[in-house]
C-alpha cells in the first residue's frame, strides 16, 4: 500500500481502538530528582580548609568524603513507599555528582525520606558491586570483615588542648556500622519535574547522640568497631531536605 | 461485542503496520584505498583481562585494532620517535624490569608501565591527567618532540598508518593514538598472587602473613595500593619529608595549590620487586628500605595524608619478622608472564 493510505488507516484504527470505554482522569505522574550538597553547620564545605569546628572543640579540615547511599525510600502519606535500592556512590569533591531519580511516582504529600548511608546487608558483599575503580577503592578488606567502606571522611584536625595538626580518617564499614538515615521532613510533590537537595551537615557526625572528640575518642575508626558504631549512631540526622523553592 | 470490535481493530492495525514494503538496502560506506591499491580493512582487537579487574574504559575515538596495536608497539621500540634517533620509549622502559630501568633520569625514578589502561593520572606529579591518548600526545609532542616527517618519509610507516587508521598521512595525533592502543594491551594479571586468587597456587605462610599485614590496619597498605590494581590512582603525601623544595614539592609544582605540597601519584605495586629504586627520587634501593620507611621513618608535615595515622610514632611499627613477611608478599606480585610476553616485546 502507498504511504498516505497506510497512514490514514493506522490513524483511523488507532482512534477506533482507543475511543471506546469510559475516560478515567488521573493526575500526571511526578519525577523527583535528588541532588546532594554539603555544609558544616552554616558554612559550605570547601576542600582542605582548616576552619571548621565541631561540637567537641576540634578544628578540622575535610580532604576526602566518599560514601554510598542505598535503599532511598520516599514515604507517601497514603502509606505507599517508593524505593530505589542503589547503591549510589558519592565523592564530595568529585567532578560529577549522581542524581537520584524517582520517575513516574504519584504526586502528593510525602511524610519522610529514609535511606542507608552505606550498603544494606544484601549489598555489602565483597566484589558484588560493578567493577569500577571507585568501587574497588572502597573495598573493605576480607580480613576485616569484607564488603565495602560505607564512608571515608578524612582530613586534619587540631584539638582545643593541642595545636599540633594530626590526621583523622573516619571510615565506616561492616554491617554493624550501617547508618540508618531518617529525614523527618514532609514535602509535597507536584506533577511533572521537581528538584530537591539532600544536604549533609558534616558536623552532625560529631554531635549527637555521641559527642565525638577526635583527640580523645580516636582519630581513626577503621580498626575499632566501637568507634565505628559511635560515628554511625550520629549519622541518623546528618541529612536534611531542601526543596527547589527554598534555594 | 465492544471487546470483539476492539480485538478486530487491533488485528487490522497490526496487519497494516507490518504490511510488506521492501526497504532499500543501506548504502555501504565507500572503500578507502591507499596509493598502492591496498584497501583499509582493520581487524578489531579484543582486549582481554580478568573478571576481577575494573572495567577498562576505552576511547570511542580510537577504537582498538590489531593494526593500531602493532603500530603502537613499533613506535614504542623505534628511536625514530626521537629527533636525533638516539632513543625510544623502550630505552628507559625495559620489559625485563616491568618496563622501567634502574637508573634515575633527571633525578627521577622511572615509573614502570603496567596496567595504565586503567589510569587517569600520569607521571609522578600528575603532569598529565586524562586518557592514554592525552599522555601519549604529551610524550610525542613535548617529551620526544617527534619529527613526524621522518615517519612520513619512512619506507613502511605510511603503509602501517594506513592499515591502522585509513590514511597515509602521519601525524602526532595518530602516533599518540597508536601508542595508546598498545599501552592498553600492557596488562599484568598473572603474578603468583593473581594465581592464588584464582585458586591455582598457595601462598607460603610468610606470604600469607604479609598479605594480612598489607590488607589490614596493621600495615595499612591497601588504602592507597588498593586491589586488584595495587594503586588507587590518586595523589598522597606519605611522609617522605617534613619540608619540601624543588621537585620534592610534587603535585604542588603542577597545581600551585599548597594543599598539594609533597604529594605524588600512587604507583602500582605490581612487579615492584623488579622496579627499584623506589619513590619519586629513587631514595630507597630495596624493598626492605621501603618497608623500614613505612615502619619507622615517616615525617610529619602540614599536608601529610590522613591515612598515615601513625605519623606521630614514625610509622606502623613492624617487627623484623613482619617486615620480612611484608616484603615476601610484595614479591608475589611479580608477573613473569608480563615481563616475557612476546606480544609486548621488541617487534623488529
Write out B149-172 in H/E/C secondary structure. Answer: HHHHCCCCHHHHHHHHHCCCCCCH
Sign, CA torsion A36/A40/A44/A47: negative
Residue A9 has a pLDDT of 62
Q: Which residues, in sequence order, are bridge partners of residue A134?
A: none
Cell numbers that stand for B319 in this block: 617487627
Q: pLDDT tens, position by position, for chain B (348 residues)? A: 556 666 666 666 666 656 555 555 667 778 999 999 999 999 999 999 999 999 999 999 999 999 999 999 999 999 999 999 999 999 999 999 999 999 999 999 999 999 999 999 999 999 999 999 999 999 999 999 999 999 999 999 999 999 999 999 999 999 999 999 999 999 999 999 999 999 999 999 999 999 999 999 999 999 999 999 999 999 999 999 999 999 999 999 999 999 999 999 999 999 999 999 999 999 999 999 999 999 999 999 989 999 999 999 999 999 999 999 999 999 999 999 999 999 999 999
Stated pTM of the model: 0.89
Distance CA B278, CA B287 (A): 8
Q: B140 and B175 in contact (C-beta within 8 Å)? A: yes
Residue A90: HSE in the Cβ half-sphere, 13 Å Cα cutoff: 27
* Beta carbons within 10 angstroms of residue B155's beta carbon: 6
Distance CA B321, CA A49 (A): 41
Give the residue among A100, A128, A131 at the shortest CA–CA distance from A116. Answer: A100
Q: A49 and A42 in contact (C-beta within 8 Å)? A: no
Q: Which residues, in sequence order, are bridge partners of residue A173?
A: A149
- Chain A residues touching residue B307 (CB < 8 angstroms): 154, 167, 169
- What b/e sequence results for B158-190 when a residue is b if at least 16 CB atoms lie within 10 Å of its CB, and e otherwise? bebbbbbbeebebebbbbbbbbbbbbbbbbbbb
Its ipTM equals: 0.88
- Contacting A with CB below 8 Å, chain B residues are 2, 5-6, 9-10, 12-13, 16-17, 19, 21, 51-55, 118, 212, 215-217, 222, 226-229, 232-234, 259, 300, 302, 304-309, 311-312
CA distance from start to end of chain B: 81
- Are B55 and A132 in contact (CB < 8 Å)? yes
DSSP summary character for residue B31: P
Residue of A nearest to B3 (CA): A20
Amino acid at each position: 500500500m502507498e504511504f498516505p493510505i497506510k497512514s490514514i488507516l493506522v490513524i483511523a484504527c488507532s482512534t477506533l481502538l482507543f475511543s471506546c470505554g469510559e475516560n478515567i482522569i488521573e493526575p500526571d505522574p511526578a519525577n523527583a530528582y535528588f541532588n546532594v550538597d554539603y555544609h558544616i553547620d552554616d558554612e559550605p564545605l570547601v576542600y582542605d580548609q582548616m576552619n571548621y569546628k565541631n561540637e567537641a572543640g576540634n578544628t578540622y579540615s575535610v580532604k576526602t568524603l566518599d560514601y554510598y547511599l542505598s535503599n532511598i525510600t520516599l514515604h507517601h502519606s497514603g502509606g505507599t513507599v517508593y524505593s530505589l535500592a542503589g547503591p549510589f556512590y558519592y565523592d564530595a569533591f568529585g567532578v560529577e555528582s549522581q542524581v537520584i531519580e524517582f520517575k513516574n511516582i504519584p504526586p502528593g504529600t510525602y511524610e519522610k525520606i529514609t535511606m542507608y548511608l552505606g550498603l544494606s546487608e544484601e549489598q555489602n558483599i565483597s566484589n558484588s558491586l560493578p567493577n569500577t575503580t571507585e568501587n574497588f577503592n572502597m573495598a573493605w578488606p576480607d580480613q576485616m570483615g569484607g564488603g565495602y567502606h560505607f564512608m571515608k571522611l578524612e582530613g586534619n584536625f587540631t584539638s582545643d588542648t593541642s595545636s599540633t595538626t594530626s590526621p583523622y580518617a573516619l571510615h565506616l564499614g561492616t554491617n554493624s556500622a550501617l547508618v540508618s538515615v531518617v529525614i523527618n521532613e514532609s514535602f509535597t510533590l507536584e506533577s511533572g519535574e521537581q528538584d530537591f537537595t539532600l544536604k549533609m551537615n558534616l558536623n552532625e557526625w560529631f554531635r549527637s547522640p555521641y559527642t565525638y572528640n577526635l583527640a580523645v575518642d580516636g582519630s581513626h575508626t577503621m580498626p575499632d568497631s566501637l568507634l565505628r558504631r559511635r560515628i554511625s549512631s550520629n549519622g541518623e540526622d546528618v541529612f536534611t531536605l531542601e526543596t527547589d523553592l527554598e534555594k | 461485542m465492544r471487546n470483539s470490535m476492539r480485538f478486530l481493530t487491533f488485528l487490522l492495525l497490526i496487519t497494516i503496520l507490518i504490511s510488506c514494503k521492501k526497504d532499500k538496502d543501506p548504502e555501504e560506506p565507500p572503500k578507502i584505498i591507499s596509493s598502492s591499491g591496498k584497501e583499509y580493512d582493520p581487524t578489531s582487537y579484543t582486549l582481554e583481562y580478568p573478571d576481577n579487574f575494573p572495567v577498562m574504559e576505552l576511547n570511542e575515538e580510537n577504537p582498538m585494532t590489531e593494526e593500531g596495536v602493532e603500530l603502537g608497539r613499533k613506535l614504542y621500540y623505534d628511536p625514530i620517535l626521537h629527533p636525533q634517533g638516539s632513543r625510544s620509549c623502550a630505552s628507559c622502559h625495559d620489559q625485563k624490569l616491568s618496563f622501567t630501568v634502574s637508573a634515575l633520569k633527571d633525578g627521577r625514578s622511572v615509573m614502570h608501565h603496567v596496567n595504565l589502561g586503567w589510569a587517569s593520572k600520569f607521571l609522578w606529579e600528575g603532569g598529565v591527567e586524562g586518557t592514554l591518548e592525552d599522555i601519549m600526545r604529551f610524550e610525542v609532542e613535548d617529551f620526544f618532540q617527534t619529527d613526524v616527517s621522518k615517519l612520513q618519509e619512512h619506507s613502511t610507516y605510511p603503509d602501517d598508518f594506513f592499515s591502522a587508521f585509513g590514511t597515509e598521512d602521519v601525524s602526532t595525533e595518530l602516533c599518540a593514538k597508536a601508542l595508546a592502543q598498545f599501552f592498553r594491551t600492557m596488562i599484568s594479571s598473572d603474578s603468583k598472587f593473581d594465581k592464588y586468587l584464582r585458586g591455582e597456587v598457595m601462598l607460603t605462610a610468610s606470604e600469607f602473613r604479609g598479605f594480612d599485614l598489607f590488607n589490614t590496619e596493621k600495615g595499612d597498605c591497601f588504602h592507597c595500593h588498593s586491589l586488584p590494581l595495587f594503586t588507587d590512582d590518586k595523589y598522597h603525601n606519605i611522609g617522605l619529608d617534613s619540608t619540601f623544595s624543588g621537585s620534592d614539592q610534587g603535585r604542588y609544582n603542577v597545581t600551585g595549590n599548597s594543599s598539594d605540597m609533597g604529594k605524588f601519584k600512587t604507583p602500582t605495586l605490581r612487579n615492584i620487586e623488579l622496579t627499584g629504586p623506589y619513590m619519586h627520587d629513587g631514595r630507597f634501593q630495596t624493598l626492605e628500605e621501603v618497608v623500614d620507611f613505612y615502619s619507622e621513618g615517616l615525617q610529619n608535615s602540614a599536608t601529610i595524608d590522613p591515612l598515615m595515622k601513625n605519623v606521630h610514632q614514625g610509622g606502623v611499627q613492624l617487627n623484623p619478622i613482619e617486615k620480612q613477611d611484608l616484603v615476601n608478599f610484595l614479591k608475589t606480585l611479580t608477573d613473569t608472564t608480563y615481563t616475557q610476553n612476546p606480544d609486548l616485546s621488541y617487534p623488529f
